[in-house]
Structure 1
Amino acid sequence: MSGYTLRQLECFAAVAEHGSIASAAQRLLLSQSAVSGAVDALEKAFATQLTIRRKAHGVALTPSGRYVLEQARSLLSQAEDLRLHASDAGGQLRGALAVGCYSSLAPTVLARLIDHYTALHPLVELDFFAGSQREVRQRLDAGSLDAAIAYDMSLPPELARRRLYDALPSIVLAADHPLAERPGLTLGQVADEPMILLDVDPSRENTMMMFAAEGLQPRIRFRTTDFEVTRSLVARGMGYSILVQQPAGALSYEGKPVVVVPILPSVRKVPVSAVWPQAAHLSRAAAALVELAGELFADPHPRPYPDGADGT
């Protein structure tokens, strides 16, 4: 016998997620004493302290508690998967699924993935979140996302991953820029031009590393945290930018044209991967999403445009 129950694991996970006994009890529609008793029973079963409870400061997890939380989430996910699919012997995928995506990838990757997935698995309640790479990682760690699509740069080893495709950074210019008709440009040829920097990691980190590797320092005119604002400023001739992901259309939101020019010599490609917590058990719905992403974006000749568009 295990000596503990799924209900106790559920209470413990809720306490960890919400930061207090009271909030967890409200979420689970239980009394505070029931939730507290479940956590006590779990600590007794494991013969270790899982939580540190301080009045007015909520609940913090011990190192043992953090380990148990990872395993508890996996067990609870498997139990829910079994409940959902037992009646039809696993025939139809069901349940809730939350997928995240790095914001600049989302317009060209996320919509296509969701469209195909919901057509294949209409009984799955799919939700999504698009944000910074840091926000996506935090939500994966907190268990509020099942999987995510992200640039495979500076990701912690605790995340499992499936590589989808490689994206190639390019220089983006206004269509009437004097350098726009060049077949390719070196970083040195644009280093003295005003730059519009997409100032979110890992985009910023990758851009600055490319210049540093050439012994160059870009002349940054504006910093933005929005992909389309970056393109709009470029389209108005306020500077160039270096972007990894490129929409199929060559117009800004204002309808002004931009031109995508390859960087010479060719720079390091940026891998795009489906990622999820290493310790977590992927539900059948989440595993199907990762598998579908691998099929949709597989390309024996990687390009920066997942749908095969040339960006011009």
Structure 2
Amino acid sequence: MQTFSKKKAVTLAKAGDIGVPSARPARRKRKVVPGDAPSADFVEALARGLRVMRCFEPGVKSLGNLELAQLTGLPKSTISRIVYTLTNLGYLRYHTDTGRYSPGYGVLALGFGLLAGLEVRQLARPLMEDLAHATGGAVALGTFDGQAMTYVDAVHGSSALYLRLPVGHRLGPDSAMGRAYLAALTDAEREALLAGLDGDALQPEMIAQARTDIEQTGCCFAIGDWQQGINAVAAPFATFTGEGLFVMSCGGPANVLPEAYLRMEVAGMLREIVAKLSPAYAQAFSRAR
């Protein structure tokens, strides 16, 4: 089975484009590959600022300079300059009563700008709603953000779900979504990504199982081993919109999505949805079968 790469998505999106002559040849842009070693064009100061912003994960309301220094490994003097700059630009808010910082409203403009421009999100939303209502599970659309899988959309099919993860939630590589993303990469892409991850890497046997699952079913499964009592299935796909590699997942409590139902019914529904969003997925899975 062929892997689903970002290059394929771009090729599909550009198929049929008509070139328009320009007054002069376009400057060839440097290809940026996440996980590659920084080049001379890498702006370290910007990277440090973004590292600080990433500390404010969902559920983290505020952080002080000392905590930010511990989380990033940066000197307190550097943290002080960074947070001053980010506060001045509106990306952080300073709380005078506590001396701590929280995300500012400037972050919303960046996040909503991205979400509003994602065509795949708009196309997938009604399909996700149908799947969530049919299964009672939580259906999510996510992609890799450089360190983790991040939800760009989520639909919850039942008010009884106790695990209700919102847009922006980040998952590790051991989740069904993370396994599906890794299994869709080439060997070289996967090794580069894992080498750049903070924390523990995914166990080789789990990656091997994920690749086998993809080849045989077009999906990856997490049966109570990502979080106890939670089952999930996920499928990776390169969008025909050219926006890159995404993963759609459906998960929930084992009593709502028992393993047999997840593998025999839900996986099939998920495959049908992903095939509508990615002809490349449909062709690759049909060959695998």
When the two structures are superposed, what TM-score results if normalisation uses the length of structure 2?
Answer: 0.34
**Which structure's CA Rg is the greater one?**
1
Greater helix content: 2
When the two structures are superposed, what TM-score results if normalisation uses the length of structure 1?
Answer: 0.32
